Structure 1
Amino acid sequence: MLAAMTTTDPAAHANPPNDGVDSELSGLMPRRGYLLALAVLIGALILVFTAWRIARDRELRSAQAEFISQTVQVTELIQQRLVNYELVARGGVSLFASVQRPTAAQWKAYVEGMNMQRRFPATLGLGFSGYVPQRLLVQLQNEWRDAGYGLLSIRPQGRREVYGPILYLEPKTPANVAAIGYDMYAEQVRHTALEAALDSGQAWLSGKIQLIQDGDKQNTGMLLALPVYLGGGRPQTLELRRAEMQGWVYVPFRMGRFVEVALGDTHSDMRFRIFDETGGRDELLYASPNLKTDTTAAFVHRAAFDIYGRTWRIEYESAPVEQAVPRLEGLRNMFALGLFSALLLYSIALMLARTESRARRIALRMTEDFRRSETRFRSAMQYSAIGKALLDSEGRIVDSNPALATIVGLGPAQLLGQRFDSLLEDEDAETPSAASHTEEDGVHRATRRLRRAHGVARQVQLTYSPVPGNVGQDISGLVQVEDVTERMRAEARVHALNRTLEARVALRTRELSQANQELEAFAYSVSHDLRAPLRAIDGFSRILGEKYADRFDAAGNDYLARVRKAAARMGDLIDALLKMSRLARSELKHESVDLSRVANEVIEELRMGDGQRKVEVSIEPGMQVIGDASLLRNLLGNLLGNAWKFTRDRDPARIEFGTQETASGVREFYLRDNGTGFPQAYVDKLFRPFQRLHSVEDFAGHGIGLASVKRIVERHGGTIRAEGREGEGASFYFTLPHDGGGRGE
């Protein structure tokens, strides 16, 4: 900015020493700008890195806390599942407490009642292994054979001091049946678990074993055993426990399936290993299928606990950092955005350092743009088809274009210096034209008559706008002159045609009104004139029936009855015709009408007329409209009467009257019923006079009710439509203006 000021100031060129000072300053300012830009860059980078590091540590801590919370849940689920197994086994112990030794059938009934395969799919069943000293083995085999269970073969064979053969194992799958007779005391891991359960009197969990049912399959199996003593209790001393020992109720299960069922679908993505570290060992019991050794876990957590005589350790591993903390990717993006912002600030500082030299170039360019702008203005003045003139403060023409000279009929030189108002027929500038107006920005438009040098006057459209001139110039405005003579003549012809058309429309309207009045008078007179012959037909047919009934056969009497019925129906149709005529002629009286109250009154009248009917009626409260009270009561009487009539075969019958808002925001009234309904294809016939969709024998009526409803709605400026399905009821939707602005036909 300093350089730009010294360039445009003439005094600066007369003082050479100032040029030296300005050059020195202009050399220092860019250097200061570069140092400031560098400081901004370094500070921004430090701030961005610090903020990113804090946010990253917070996300890592949050993810780690969530991971540890999940590990605690998984550990509790595994422990709880083993507790459930203990509860099942204790039920079997309770069975032995109630019966000294239950039969195989009793054991089967208990296990089936527990529904083991569905509730505990990881188990192979529920079994009982007996505690059999060597001296009682033969006695047990004889009792087994006498009970009808067949030969009890103990395996593996060999003479041992105590045996622990499997006696019961349900459900009886082929693998479980094959396991009967297996001596669990013969295998060291099972023997250790059974002995520990016997000595402690508590449930005991075995170490890793190969289940008998799995054969050669490499599945990790385990069993949970509970001791069974005589009487069901727990003796106080070890000697008494061994003396009263009957056997063990045990639950064999597969470790992999056990963990899978315990976790369910909620924690199926957890990665962990389960180790048995009882007695200083470190034996792997289970490893998650999704555990990967080729990736580095973001977090690791260990949980050790004692359960049923064993010490288990679970080592949890989370997914890699990218998966365990997915929001780190967003933080990286934020870090990149911060770097970009720092570079952007640095770029802005560099741009400010170069502003001085660019300002000099901009000043030169603005000078050239000003010259070109003036050239464009001159070209627009010169070649415009609309007359234009520049006026001074006294309204004299300072400059004009050839188009204005052509419209006025004078040469451009003759126009210079003249008052522009002198070219107009009305020179009184204080009198505003009827076709003039001034806009907010100071632009004034007017239509005036222009005096030509040779020829008739022309109508012109004038547009005055303020135009600031250069310093020293006396230019205050621009006037544009457009010849609109032909256009105004065309508009005058159009207005004349419009007046003629309006006169014709008024004539046709009077003729139509007279025709309507004559038609109504004709309908009224015809309906009255028809009553006399109808009464004669009805009277003479009645006299024939009364005096000569014995001379007619059944067919003759039936014909007379039909004649009287037809005459009565024609009388009803004449009454309906008169009613329709009165609806069209009556004057609307607008007032506030509570449709809810009117509807309730109509329903009460219908209930009093047909007290045997049970109809469920729902009427929305507070439905207020502006309209003619008598016509609106007629409308609801017809609609509710139809709904009452056409639901007579429904049990229960339902009628609902309320409001709803359409998609366009208009309040619409609806009346629904679950009656006979109608085919939607014939909906156009509903609102025509004397058109019926049901026979008179099924539903009485004259066919003018819905026609009257439509007439009333349209007279109030509303619309009505209907929807229905045969046998499923009908719905009517209509609108009434809130302000009561009907047409008042």
Structure 2
Amino acid sequence: MTTSDPAEHAPSASDDDAELAGLMPRRGYLLALGVLIGSLILVFTAWRIARDRELRSAQAEFVGRTVQVTELIQQRLVNYELVARGGVSLFASVQRPTAEQWRAYVDGMNMQRRFPATLGLGFAGYVPQRLLVQLQNEWRDAGYGLLTVRPQGVREVYAPVLFLEPKTPANVAAIGYDIHSEAVRREAMIAAMDSGQARLSGKIHLIQDGPQPLSTGLLLTLPVYLGGGRPQSESLRRAEMQGWVYVPFRMERFVQTTLGGSHDDMLFRIYDRSGGRDTLLYEAPGMKGQAAAFVHRVSFDIYGRSWRIDYQSAPVEQAVPRLAGLRNMFALGLFSSLLLYGIALMLARTESRARNIAVRMTEDFRRSEARFRSAMQYSAIGKALLDSEGRIVDANPSLAGIVGTGIGQLRGRRFEELLEHDDGDEGDGRTDEDGVHRATRRLHREHGVARQVQLTYSPVPGNVGQDIAGLVQVEDVTERLRAEARVHALNRTLEARVALRTRELSQANQELEAFAYSVSHDLRAPLRAIDGFSRILGEKYADRLDAPGRDYLGRVRKAAARMGDLIDALLKMSRLSRGELKHESVDLGRVAAEVIDELRVGEPQRAVEVRIDPDMRVTGDASLLRNLLGNLLGNAWKFSRDRDPARIEFGLRELPGGGREFYLSDNGTGFPQAYVDKLFRPFQRLHNVEDFAGHGIGLASVKRIVERHGGSIRAEGREGEGATFFFTLPLEAPRGE
């Protein structure tokens, strides 16, 4: 058996030294590598944190600016409403302002300088169809000239522009335009009438732009009721509706003047989202084809419309200019980490830099806190921060002034202790989707009279470890409520005066009609005496009279007979005005055919070509409408007797601007167009009695009948070439509608 020396297998000292010599560099490399990796991680993390903070800070600043722009736009629209409400107040103080009063109000507002985006301030009347002619007569009697309502046609309600100041050529040309005839404007006007509040229209083509729109136009409308008040129910609002005060303005100019040069670099689009679709109202220059660092969308409701504003910032390089410095810092950190590979000092220096960067990042937070403090400290509205138990944590000087005590005495008190608790107060107010609660309460003022205040509660989170749950804003509205009460009292007084004047006017009209009817009847007795005695004189004493005497006696009898006919015509005109209308369905084509048949029986030897359109149904008084067609067709038959062949045409035509009207034309004698105003006056004739018999009452009766049905009539003619009469009547709705 062979034995070995233990010394052969024991490790030697030289081997241990070599192994230790190999482990030391390895550990140094690992430590240096660890330092490098740690430093790289730290640098990269610090860069990402700084970058994220810069982005968030820039984004917060961007969002803050969008809030400012949104508030500016909303506030400018509120200013437009205030201007319009001034026009409504003019109607409250004056039953029907004149054009001079309206012009004086608008000139006093200096709208072209204060609100250059607006085209003026206008008033459009609420005119049912049956009152249109009356409005035109009142307009003419007031000395304003002829009020031509455009577009032509029969509609249930008209809203012609009556006042529009300042008096530019474009505004003057818009007088008489029926803004109720266009769907977008009509939607806003009806909404304003039914709600009693200001309403904004959708995108429209402004009248002042002519055929081609120059830019996007909008219309802010405000209803005007009798007495200037706001009736409680919708039915009363429609019954007491006088018209609308409206402000037309251009959207592009509106945005430019609203920003006023302070936010010209803001890029955004404004959309109208009402009706389920997005309609572009405004787009800032430079929006297209540009990459944005941030986008922000704001939606809000404004005067019955739903608007959305899409904000877009500049590219990242411009929106966050400090990112370039952060990139340089990142490169410097990498270079320093590589250079100071394995040196712990550089790690400390890098850590110090990271700490400095964190300090700079928190500076934005401190500035934000300072802005909040300034907004609370210097606000004209009272504000208080409340804890979870409703106690006042902090308050501003405005709230202390409203309560009548110091800020120190308010801290720690329950806010509800400042309010008076009447029955039913607890359920007053409303809360929206964001948890903001609004209510009107009575606030107890220290050593003074209680005040009415508008309260707005909104949730506000506090810092970590700080018991702050909400913010309450207190606005003193006592004087405003008192002013509203005084206005309501004045409105009731004005309504009583209007009712008294209306009753007196109705009595005067009835007395005038009774007087005319009585005079016409009383004239018959002496007229019969003249006719009777002259007839007896001619029968018994004819042999004693010479030829001139008998001629004079014959003229007396003819004059008495004509006077009798004129009295009959006058009584007929009186009956047309006094009788009650019986509304029923009438086929004008069938009635016209019957009248033509009667005329052919009276003169069978005449050859007259007659064309009558079928199915012309209207709603009205059958006897009056037959009288209307009898006069018009009788005139056409009479004045075309010298034509061979004579032609008469009666039909219904479409108007270019919407609506339909009837026409009746002939190729008869015609009349000079210069004397068209005399046609519809009683006892006015354009032809000699010897040539064409008549009393001059027929066309006057026609005009009276048309106006009683809420329509209008006009005539066109040329001497020797015939005449055409155009008139409107309430058409019967097609069956099945």
TM-score, normalised by the number of residues in structure 2: 0.48
Rg (Cα) greater in structure = 1
State the structure with bigger RCO (CA 8 A, min sep 6), 1 or 2. Answer: 2
